[in-house]
Amino acid sequence: MSCKNFALRCAAFSMLASAPLLAQGGVQLDNSETLFAVLTAINNCGYDAELTASDPVRMTVRREIGSNLETSETAKSASDSLCAFYHDHQQGTDARTLSSYISLALYLNPPPALTPRVKEADLPPDASGVLGLVPLLTKFYTTAGIHELWQQHTAAYAGFNGQYREPLSQMIRTTELYLRLPSANYMGRSFTVFVEAMGAPSEINARSYGNDYYVVLTPAPGSSLKMDLIRHAFLHFLLDPMVGKFAGNLKPLDPVMDSLRLAPMDENFKEDPSLLVTECLIRAVEARTMAGAKAPQSEQDRSIEDSEQQGFILTRYFYQRLLQFEKDSIGFRAALPAMLAGIDARAEQKRAGQIQFAAAAEPELLHLARPKEGKLLAMAEERLSAGDIQTAEKLAKQALAEKNEDPGRALFILAQIALRGGINNASPYFEQALKATSEPKVVAWSHIYLGRILDLQDDEEDGPKRAAAIEHYKAAVGASDSLPQAKAAAEEGLQKPYAPPSRAQQAQPPPSEDQKQ
């Protein structure tokens, strides 16, 4: 499509689809008191990322929270408990810490309940890792006056929405125009952009939870929206279900998937052809429409080459098909089947073999609700339950070496295996597991078994190791709010030293996943 034709279509579309963003079908710009509550809580506990670059409302809210805590011992006590949890569950970077709490907030019911909308098993893994915040947050929300603060700053949040409404509306209009998709035809699906001032301005978090897509962004004085990232998430919203309808027809792409094993992109793209096709298609659209289709050809070519070197091998194919699509008059929904059917898997496999893959790939913006379970660790747990210790150990060590699955979970499996050879052999694995993960089940049960090991090593009921065991049981209680069996075991350990009736039971492995629930 020429720059002139693209501009003319944009102008025509503006007259036909000039409705404000809040009225565009399943797309909306909004604020969330739940997000405000969760992010205000972690700000109170020391989340300071990019504080000086943030909008002044963030610092104002932090001061107001501090003032509220000074006048209420109950609020200060609630804050202390919440902050202890926060400090025990910080991630390796500020970005990962923020991401986990945003994932949690998007799955909570509105205040004052602030309870999970789904079972723990249905939570994203990063949200599950900080689920223990929920009961602490509920008390903090009530005693620290979070709702009153939210009401005081509604005007500021409305101002943010007013600032971003038109740029977002324009992005949606031009994207739908390019793909010739009718506005508001989303069939019960939603795309929501939340503006939340209590985060880090440079961070944009995007999530896909079933039919609901979310983008959470933070305003900053004098900064413009990172529209390319928001548009990437919006393209997923538009194209994921379209490609998904043809997932059963993508089996011929298996040879192409095999040729991407050394590519640096996320492993999910190498295992699911539907995910790979969608991402390549989105990258092709982005390359073709760079700067409103005004970017030099050299920049578009460079964008395609970057995608290929990361492993998104079909980007060039879809880019070429888009050139033809721009000349036709049919909508993208009608054009997609022929595009997918036209992929020459053998040719793409051959071309993939000629590409020098990059050392690293850009992180994918959109987080899926439930990434694929780790295959090696799932198999290791299955073999351990069946008594096949040798295979379970081999698979757990392989998962650690390949670094594609949760290392804490792998170490926990190895700890269970080591328990069968004697309690002293297991302690190092449990301790390493605690350092490697924040997954609640692993954390809680590792603390419980370290406490039990210390109790068993002590010759006296109140011997020197009992104090250390009590600290482990306390930590397990704090990590097991959503795990009744673990919490009961930890509380029992606090009441009296662990003393199983027989030596055989001392080395029993932890309960199964069902028992832990």
Given 346, 368, 390, the domain boundary residue is 368
How much is the pLDDT for 5?
Answer: 46
Based on the fold, state whether residues 67 and 50 are members of the same structural domain: yes
Do the Cβ atoms of 405 and 371 come closer than 8 Å?
no
Helix (H, G, I), strand (E, B) or coil at 79: helix
Q: Is residue 227 part of a domain?
A: no
How much is the pLDDT for 274?
Answer: 92
Question: How many whole angstroms separate alpha carbon 503 and alpha carbon 423?
Answer: 10
Based on the fold, state whether residues 73 and 152 are members of the same structural domain: yes
Residue 141 tokens read as 């929300």
The letter for the amino acid at 259 is S
Based on the fold, state whether residues 443 and 426 are members of the same structural domain: yes
Question: How many whole angstroms separate alpha carbon 176 and alpha carbon 181?
Answer: 5
Give 356-360 contacts, CB < 8 A, sequence gap 24+.
356/309, 357/262, 357/263, 357/264, 357/309, 357/310, 357/311, 358/264, 358/306, 358/309, 358/310, 359/264, 360/264
Q: Is residue 333 part of a domain?
A: yes
Based on the fold, state whether residues 443 and 294 are members of the same structural domain: no
Do the Cβ atoms of 411 and 431 come closer than 8 Å?
no
Question: How many whole angstroms separate alpha carbon 427 and alpha carbon 456?
Answer: 12
Based on the fold, state whether residues 414 and 343 are members of the same structural domain: no
Q: Is residue 343 part of a domain?
A: yes
Q: Which helix (H) or strand (E) holds 368?
A: strand 366-368
How much is the pLDDT for 378?
Answer: 78
Question: How many whole angstroms separate alpha carbon 472 and alpha carbon 456?
Answer: 14
Q: Is residue 278 part of a domain?
A: yes
Question: How many whole angstroms separate alpha carbon 325 and alpha carbon 331?
Answer: 9
Based on the fold, state whether residues 116 and 90 are members of the same structural domain: yes
Based on the fold, state whether residues 108 and 146 are members of the same structural domain: yes
Based on the fold, state whether residues 46 and 153 are members of the same structural domain: yes
Question: How many whole angstroms separate alpha carbon 416 and alpha carbon 383?
Answer: 12
Please tell me whether the peptide bond between 296 and the residue prior to it is cis, using omega within 30 degrees of 0.
Answer: no
Based on the fold, state whether residues 64 and 104 are members of the same structural domain: yes
- pLDDT means per 10 residues, the chain with 517 residues, are 42 34 67 97 97 96 97 97 94 91 95 89 83 95 97 96 92 94 72 96 90 92 86 94 88 91 89 93 95 79 96 97 95 95 95 92 73 65 79 86 79 90 84 84 90 82 80 87 79 87 46 43
Q: Report the Cα 310 to chain-centroid distance in Å.
A: 21
Q: Give the end-to-end CA distance of the chain in Å, rounded to a whole number.
A: 57
Q: Give the gyration radius of the chain's Cα atoms.
A: 26
Q: Is residue 218 part of a domain?
A: no
Based on the fold, state whether residues 380 and 509 are members of the same structural domain: yes
Please tell me whether the peptide bond between 509 and the residue prior to it is cis, using omega within 30 degrees of 0.
Answer: no
Helix (H, G, I), strand (E, B) or coil at 2: coil
Q: Which helix (H) or strand (E) holds 191?
A: strand 190-195
Question: How many whole angstroms separate alpha carbon 28 and alpha carbon 192?
Answer: 5
233 — phi, psi (to 5°)?
-65, -40
The letter for the amino acid at 368 is L
Q: Is residue 230 part of a domain?
A: no
Domain that holds residue 207: 3-212
Query: What sign does the dihedral 175-178-184-188 (CA atoms) show?
Result: negative
Question: How many whole angstroms separate alpha carbon 426 and alpha carbon 256?
Answer: 43
Question: How many whole angstroms separate alpha carbon 261 and alpha carbon 511?
Answer: 36
How much is the pLDDT for 461?
Answer: 61
Paired residues of 28 in beta bridges: 192
Angle, alpha carbons 232-129-470 (nearest 5°): 165
Given 323, 353, 368, the domain boundary residue is 368
Domains contained in the chain, number: 3
Based on the fold, state whether residues 267 and 207 are members of the same structural domain: no
Based on the fold, state whether residues 356 and 459 are members of the same structural domain: no
Do the Cβ atoms of 137 and 113 come closer than 8 Å?
no
Q: Is residue 225 part of a domain?
A: no
Q: Is residue 240 part of a domain?
A: no
